[in-house]
Amino acid sequence: MFLSFKTILICLFASQLLFLNTVIADEKDNPFVVSGFYVATNDLPKTVIEPKPIETENPFAGDYQILESPQTTGNPDKVEVLELFWYTCPHCYSFEQGYLSQWREEQMPEYVDLVQMPAVYNKNDKYMPLAKAYFVAKELDILDKIHIPLFAALHDKKRSIYTEEAIRDFFVKHGGITKEQFNNSFHNSFSLDTNINKAYDTTKNYKIRGVPIIFVNGKYRLGGTISKGYKNMMQVINYLVAEEYKLIQERNAEVAVD
């Protein structure tokens, strides 16, 4: 029995449709079918290949900058959070009073080393006494009595506390110290000169253009604008310090094994 040429063509077309449908069906369920073509499986593992889990994406990508030249920090076993500010800056006052001080007292992890310092652009600046005021208060252990109250006096009460004499009177009144204690720290302190020089170098090395500004572990820069406001910036800080601490733990674990 002979088949006509037309019948043969119909049979061939039907068989091709059956093959293509099989391939498409297999492609959905068979990991060794790629784009309608079968892949030789002689060298592939016989066990089922589990898909690689997708890593959690950074929820704060774009809310901070990665420094091109990372800076060294004081304690390699802690995550440093560095803030540079200026007492005459109203934004610094808002950030300190509304966000940073509360975070320091209530939320800051014990593995974080919070370092604050005034930005020093010019050691001969007329506002240099205010930069020295921070370090004097810290050295005399009265920072909690001076830091925010000095901000408040400058911005809320609009007081002109810019000269050494005005700052000394403020310290005596609010810090509970004598004029002699203030003078000794302000004029005869090697640590004060060291801190001012460090603040000047830090301002230069980090290329500070505005304050307040935050740096996490010498790697990341955060600010009110790039971090989409101070509230979000605190969340970014929490995220970055946690990620950096993971790296510290991993490094210490490798050292312990070696």
Q: Pull the structure tokens for residue 136.
A: 């004097």
- Burial class of residue 137 in the structure, from the number of CB atoms within 10 Å of its CB (0-12 exposed, 13-18 middle, 19+ buried): buried
Provide the pLDDT for residue 49.
Answer: 38
Q: pLDDT band at residue 255, thresholds of 50, 70 and 90?
A: confident
Q: Does pLDDT of 6 surpass 60?
A: no
Q: Pull the structure tokens for residue 68.
A: 């091109």
For 96, 163, 194, 227, the CA distances from 149, given in Å and listed in that order, are: 11, 17, 25, 27
What kind of architecture, by CATH, is found in domain 65-257? 3-Layer(aba) Sandwich (3.40)
The residue among 139, 200, 212 whose CA lies nearest residue 171 is 139
Provide the pLDDT for residue 79.
Answer: 98
Residue 129 to residue 135: CA distance in whole angstroms: 10
CB 165 within 8 A of CB 84: no
Residue 224 to residue 245: CA distance in whole angstroms: 24
Q: pLDDT band at residue 11, thresholds of 50, 70 and 90?
A: low
Q: pLDDT band at residue 188, thresholds of 50, 70 and 90?
A: confident
The residue among 142, 167, 164, 143 whose CA lies nearest residue 153 is 167
241-250: average pLDDT = 97
What's the whole-model pTM score?
0.77
Q: What residue segments make up the domains of the chain, in order of their start?
A: 1-53, 65-257
Render pLDDT for 33-50 as a digit per residue (tens, 0 to 9). Answer: 333 333 333 333 333 334
Provide the pLDDT for residue 104.
Answer: 97
